[in-house]
Structures are given as structure tokens and as C-alpha cells.
Amino acid sequence: MSEMVSLLKASGIEKSYGATRALAGVDINIGRGEVVALVGENGAGKSTLGKVLAGAVTPDSGTLLFEGEEVTFRSTAEALARGVAIVLQEFNLIPEMTVAENLSLTSPAGYRWGWWRNSRHQLTRARAAIVAASMDFGIDPEALVSELSVAQQQIVEIVRSLSADAKLFILDEPTAALGRRETEALLDLIRSLRDDGRSVVIVTHRLDEVFAVADRIYVLRDGVPRGEFDPASTSVDTLINAMVGRDLDQKMHDSRTIREPGEVVLSVDSVSVDGSAECSFEIRRGEIVGLAGLVGSGRTELARAIFGADRVSSGSVTINGKHGLMRSPLGAVRAGAAMVSEDRKAQGLHTGLSIHDNIVLTHLAKRGKFWLNLRKLDAMVRGQVEDLRIKIGGSWLDAGVLSGGNQQKVVLAKWLLSKPDLLILDEPTRGIDVGARAEFYRLIDALVSDGMAVLVISSELQEVLALSDRVLVMSRGTIVAELPRDEATEEAVLAQTEIAATGT
């Protein structure tokens, strides 16, 4: 085996945010033409390290050698000029611009004389970039980014970065919002980049992706390196133990409590989101119902309509006996519903508020009272932080300083504190590490055992199958099949999706 030729080498990287030490003496060496995976729990420092390597964050100390030369990247633009591109976990797109315009932002080729927009060239270049990346999943280059789903925005971010003429690509949770087809296309693209002599650093909580594409695995825990592993000779259990510092029961959510459903909490009757297809179903107390389907099948749109976040064309929704369509999310909350949306940045978290205030928001909205018991609220926040193992320096810190996974936990905590009868979960474990997922599954199992009704949407089909008592398969805005737990297999769901898509 030939000796690795170093492309980017980081030594002694330190980074702190106030009293929180994000990185503590981290060393990493990335070779030419290899895929390196960065794994660890939420708050382990993975995203921070990726941002340091790509110029998005300036380290407090340490050195970077790129192609043998010491460098200091003061911005992502400087890093890109040297050949380092990054896909950030939080999208960096401009919603008021089209897909083509966003894809041309970092390329002078989309502008005449360096400043005059060349619309025709931008469209041609955008279509070519999407096709070249094999990520053509119904994305219109002329559409505004604000009109795209979260998964489609994720694809645009990936295409923009991977179409750059870079030598090193850093991908931070690139598949968090993607379904199976989109994920497989991206993994194939990563392999082709490696075959072309380029290097990739992938930050992900999906360990199956790590073992599918990585040549080496780096583990971080609490900002400290915890080992380098060869995927060919490393088991999943060994990797998880290095990440969380303890053994973890990965199968606990497959053996969750099977219970007899109670009274109906949610009834959806002939609801149409787009004016054509209609959906009808019920969810009872003590029951988890999963919504499965491809990206663009209408899962999120249906969930938002139930919660009153979007208007619908026709039909009715009944929550806890309250009949009629929800006129607003606040009305749904007061009726006993809660919803963890798929886009935490735009719809789930107030990054200008403290962690404490984010967590108590829905509880206060549901109470609707003027006087506050601050001591009681503080105790509630501490309980949620402990239950979900949210890594924070203090509850009064700005929520925006947290890692993406810990931000997601704050959103979960906010809704769980409202003690809903109906909990709608749209990509609830996006960006959450394997240890926190296990605890989240246990928590949901306990809540459902106490009588809560849950509707869950996830791009990870195995997660939907493991959690659900029934699975509803969606395609083109309507429910095309309902599968009980004992019949809901990955093959069965995909077969129903294929039948609906092709009409055969």
C-alpha cells in the first residue's frame, strides 16, 4: 500500500467560545484522493473543526498546512480560492434568488464583465451542474429558493459546493434532509470525486454512510480526539463506544412497547393541500403513525396543513374533538398539538433568544397567563436539558451558539414541555447523534405509553419502520397505502412508492 500524500494537515487546533472549549489540541491529516469521516456526539466539535479547515471559523491556536505550505484561511472565499470548499450544515442560500442565481454566486462565469448578470448562461450552467452531480430530483433552476423544500435546498447547497473546482470538499451533515435516492446519489458522487483524485471530509451521524464511503474515521468527543479508525477493521459498536464513551443498546427502539390504541386524537378528513389529491386518516392515543414517501411526495406539506401552518384547498382536521381546519399554529397548540418542523433554522428556533427562552416559548403560549413563576420555569428547563442531554454552557446563552444537533434538541425540548396530546415530528432526529437518538426513542416510547399520539416523518425509512405502529405511504400529495406494523418492511414501502410513481 502506497504512503499517503498529505493534502491538508491541521496540528494543535484549539477553539473556545467563552467558557466552552469546542476544540482541544486537535490534529488531523487528510490525504489526496481519500474520504475521511468525522464522527462524534452533538457538541463534540466536528462542525467547528470542519469550519476551521474551510476558513469559516478562525482557530484560537494551531496551524494548517495545505499542500505542504502553511496557510491562514480568513474566510471561506480565501479557502475556496486555494481549493477548499464546504457545504455548511445550516444553509447559506439566498431565498429571494433563483436556484440558478444561487449556484452562480461563487462563480464569475455567471456574470458579464464581472458584475452584469448573464441569466441565460446562469440557467445553462445550473442545469449542467445539477445533471453532472446526478442530483436532478425535480429542481427547477428558475424557481426561487424560498419555494423549495428543505431537501431540495440541501441538494442546491451540495451542487453549488461540489461544482467548484476544488481539491478538498468538506460536507457537514449533507444527507440530514435527504431521502434514500438522494443519499445514494450523493454517496456515488463522493466516490467519483475520490476516484478523480479529490479529497472529501464528511461529517455525519449516519454510521451506515461512514462505512459505505470512508477510508478513515476520526472520532471527536468533547472537543478532544478519541482515535482514528479503519472502517474495514472496525465494528459499529467499537465506533459508538469511542464516540459516546459507553456501550449503547442500538436495538432498543425495535423492541418498544406495543400497546392497544385509545380514543381518536387526530382525524384528517379529505384534506387537499394542492387542490387535487386528498388525504384521510386517524391517529389514536398510544399510537405512532409514520408517513413514508420520497422527497416531494407531500409529507411535510400535509403535516404543516394539519398544524395550521399552511392553508389547504379542502377538507377538515379534528384535534381532540375540535372540528375544522386549524387557522394558525397557535390554534393547533391550544387544541393540544405540537410540531417539530423540518427546518429548525427558519421555523423551529429563535437564534436571537436564549436557550432558556426558546425552551419555554410554547409552554407560555399555551398557558396564556401574565404572571411567570421563574423558579418553576428554570426547573422545567433544567429537566429538559437533562432528559435530552443538551450540551450547553448555560441556559441563558444565545441558542445560536449551539451545535446543529443541540439546537435540534432545544426545539424538541420546547415542544415536549407543552405536554401535547398530538406530537407531529418532521425529521426529528436531523443532526442528532446516535446516543441522543437512543434516548429520544426511549422518551417518545414513554410519552406514547402515557397516551400521546404521534405522527412521524423521517427521510430515514428504517427510523419510520422502527417507531411506527402503522405506516402511511405518500406519493404525489396523497396516501397510496397503509401498512400495519407486521407488514411494514422497507421492501413493501418502496414497492408501494414505485407503484404509485409509475402507475403499474
Q: What is the pLDDT of residues 73-95, one digit of tens each?
A: 999 999 999 999 999 877 788 88
Residue 310 lies in a domain: yes
Q: Does residue 136 have a pLDDT over 80?
A: no
Phi, psi at 144, each rounded to 5°: -70, 145
187 and 60 belong to one structural domain = yes
Per-residue pLDDT tens digits for 415-467:
988 889 999 999 888 877 777 777 788 888 888 999 999 999 988 888 898 89
CA distance 198 to 36: 12
Residue type, 82: R
Buried b (16+ CB within 10 A) or exposed e, 429-448: bbbbbbbbbbbbbeebbebb
Dihedral (C-alpha) 481, 316, 477, 96: value to the nearest 10 degrees? -150
Question: Is 205 in a helix, a strand, or coil?
Answer: coil
DSSP-derived 3-state class of residue 327: coil
- Dihedral class, residue 215 (left if φ above 0, else alpha if ψ from -120 to 50, else beta): alpha
In a domain, 342, yes or no: no
Residue 115: what pLDDT?
46
208 and 263 share one domain: no
Q: Which of 213, 244, 275 is the last residue of a domain?
A: 244
Secondary element (H or E) of residue 239: helix 236-244
Asked if residue 416 belongs to a domain, the reply is no
Average pLDDT over residues 181-209: 92
Q: Indicate whether 225 and 258 sit together in one domain.
A: no
In 142-181 the beta strands, taken as DSSP E runs, fall at: 168-172
- The dihedral over CA atoms of 135, 141, 145, 150, expressed in degrees to the nearest 10, equals -20
pLDDT more than 90, % of the chain: 41
Residue 107 covered by a domain: yes
Tell me, yes or no, whether 240 and 259 share the same domain.
no
Tell me what pLDDT residue 325 has: 72
φ, ψ for residue 52 (rounded to 5)? -65, -45
Domain count, the chain: 2
Residue 409 lies in a domain: no
Q: Characterise 156 by phi-psi region: left (phi > 0), alpha (psi -120 to 50), beta (else).
A: alpha
Range of lowest pLDDT (136-140, 164-168, 500-504): 500-504
Q: Which of residues 210, 244, 278 is at a domain's end?
A: 244
Q: What is the rounded average pLDDT for all residues in the chain?
A: 86
∠ CA 266-272-276, nearest 5°, is 155
Cell of 291: 408517513
Which residue segment(s) compose the domain that 80 sits in?
6-244
- Of residues 65 and 94, more confidently modeled: 65
Q: Which residues pair with 373 in a beta bridge?
A: none
* pLDDT above 90: residue 131: no
The crossing angle, in degrees rounded to 10, of helices 404-416 and 434-449 is: 10
Residue 198's closest CA among 172, 171, 231, 232? 171
- Check whether 254 has a pLDDT greater than 60: no
Q: Using CA atoms, how far apart are residues 75 and 355, in angstroms rounded to an integer?
A: 28
Mean pLDDT of 95-115: 71
Residues 181 and 328 placed together within one structural domain of the fold: no
- C-alpha distances in angstroms, 367 versus 371, 414, 420? 10, 14, 12
Bridge-based pairing state of the strands 35-39 and 216-221: parallel
109 and 11 inside one domain:
yes
Q: Are residues 467 and 322 part of one domain?
A: yes
- CATH at 83: 3.40.50.300
Last residue within a domain, chosen from 191, 210, 244: 244
pLDDT tens for each residue of 227-253: 999 999 999 889 988 988 765 554 444
Is residue 31 one of the residues assigned to a domain? yes
Q: Are residues 226 and 279 in the same domain?
A: no
Instruction: Characterize the bridge pairing of strands 199-203 and 35-39.
Output: parallel
Indicate if 210 and 260 belong to the same structural domain: no
Closest CA to 303 of 273, 345, 335: 273
Q: What is the model's pLDDT at position 1?
A: 43
| Mean predicted confidence (pLDDT) in 87-106 | 85
Whether residue 396 lies inside any domain: the answer is no
Choose among 16, 14, 36: nearest CA to 27.
14
The torsion angles phi and psi of 463, rounded to 5 degrees, stand at -65, -45
State pLDDT tens for residues 324-358. 777 788 888 888 999 998 877 777 788 888 989 99
Strands 337-340 and 264-272: unpaired
Pair 194, 304 in one domain:
no
Residue 370: inside a domain = no
C-alpha separations of 136 from 115, 132, 181, 301 in Å:
28, 9, 11, 21
Task: Say yes or no: 12 and 86 in one domain.
Answer: yes
Is the domain of 309 the same as that of 229? no
pLDDT at 317 over 70: yes
The three cell numbers of residue 122 are: 446562469
